[in-house]
Chain A
Amino acid sequence: MTPLAVSIAGAIASFTLVLVVFELIRSRRLRERYALLWIATGLTLTALSAWRDGLNTIAGWVGVRGYPPAVLFAVGILFILAVLLHYSTVISRLSDQNVVLAQRLALLEEQLRDGVSRR
């Protein structure tokens, strides 16, 4: 069985994450579309920490015998991997768009200079 202190600490920590994410969206420092994964992370970890029987059961399923909270770590790491992978795709798109922007800017500047010199 998971020690009670671990459950309480885990629940508080993960719910704090949810609150922080919420505040970041509210103050417009985080867009909803990038917050969804974080909220899923926070809520899942909160649920797994608070629902102690559930954590035990899941630990049994995946063959964790000695220390059920290890499942918390595993799930947390999985979510972090998902968030990182998501960010990698976002960064790839951003850098592609950045290239297009720079190219368009160069073309635009050339047109502008061309217009000035012909006057």
Chain B
Amino acid sequence: MSDTVTVSSRAVAPPGLAELRRVAIVPALNEEHALPQVIDELRAFDPGMDIVVVDDGSLDRTAEVAEAKGARVLRLPFNLGIGGAVQTGFRFAFENGYDIAVRVDGDGQHDPSQLARVVEPVLRGDADIAVGSRFAADEAGYRSSRTRRVGIRLLAWVVSRIVGQRVTDTTSGFQVLNREGIALFAHDYPHDYPEVEATVMVFRHRLRLCEVPVSMRERGGGRSSITALRSIYYMVKVLLAIFVGMFRRNVVPQEDSR
């Protein structure tokens, strides 16, 4: 584990972060190629941040690669899907008393050097959850299939109407959460295609969400978990979930409830 402290000149963790217990949650499915760089970049951003890789039943050497880089690895016995995998990380963060959790995908599309901007509003206490959005500023640079973009836009529009705040990127998994956010997601997190429902959930539990403009990179390896036919199914499922969710009473989870 000699390479665990590779501090580059890009270490730009904002002041104030160092006093907090902080963890990076990295869900990964067959990402042995992209993962090492993601871990290095997280260390470069903040060497004092613990890194937890949630291996969602990978068939390649994802877990070994992560362990070799000195990350803690939670190996799921079989594939749970992104929602179940990420929630494992949130439970870990909750039960180990972390103050701040950063969620970064294992495929390398989230650039940890942009974390400073996303962490900011949470550190200042202005938000419980900050989300890196590809569309918050009209910074182009995000390339994706047309159907996918239309889907993302449509969901953003629906969610914005429901929560009464402009939300531009409801499918972003680039997030920073404080203790309240961690507690909420540790206790209740949607499955399959979780970010959209989670966004609505955050508002219904009266937590504060804010978006921070970021640019995302091309995937470093692995395959996207979303194919064309599935996106239609997800779309219907997510809209149903959001609709039904509006008729639920929501209780803010307490620290000591399990």
Contacts and interface: CB of A to CB of B under 8 A. Distances in A.
Residue among A25, A35, A101, A104 with most chain B CB within 10 A: A25
A32 B247 contact: no
Instruction: Sort chain B's interface into a size bin.
Output: 10 to 19
Contact of B240 (A36, A96, A100): A36
Contacts of B78: 96-97, 100
Given A26-B248, A31-B191, A101 B77 contact: yes
A36 B244 contact: no
Given A25-B244, A39-B240, A33 B192 contact: yes
Given A26-B247, A100-B77, 4 more contacts: A33-B191, A33-B192, A39-B240, A96-B78
Interface of A: 22, 25-26, 31-33, 35-36, 39, 96-97, 100-101, 104
B236 A36 contact: yes
A32 B77 contact: no
Nearest to A105: B77
A35 to B, nearest CB: 7
Chain A interface main SS type: helix
Nearest to B248: A26
B241 interface: yes
B237 interface: yes
A31 B197 CA distance: 13
Given A100-B78, A104-B77, A33 B244 contact: no
Nearest to A31: B191
Contacts of B241: 32
A39 to B, nearest CB: 7
Contacts of B240: 25, 32, 35-36, 39
A45 to B, nearest CB: 18
A92 to B, nearest CB: 13
Residue among A22, A33, A97, A104 with most chain B CB within 10 A: A33
Interface in B226-258: 233, 236-237, 240-241, 244, 247-248
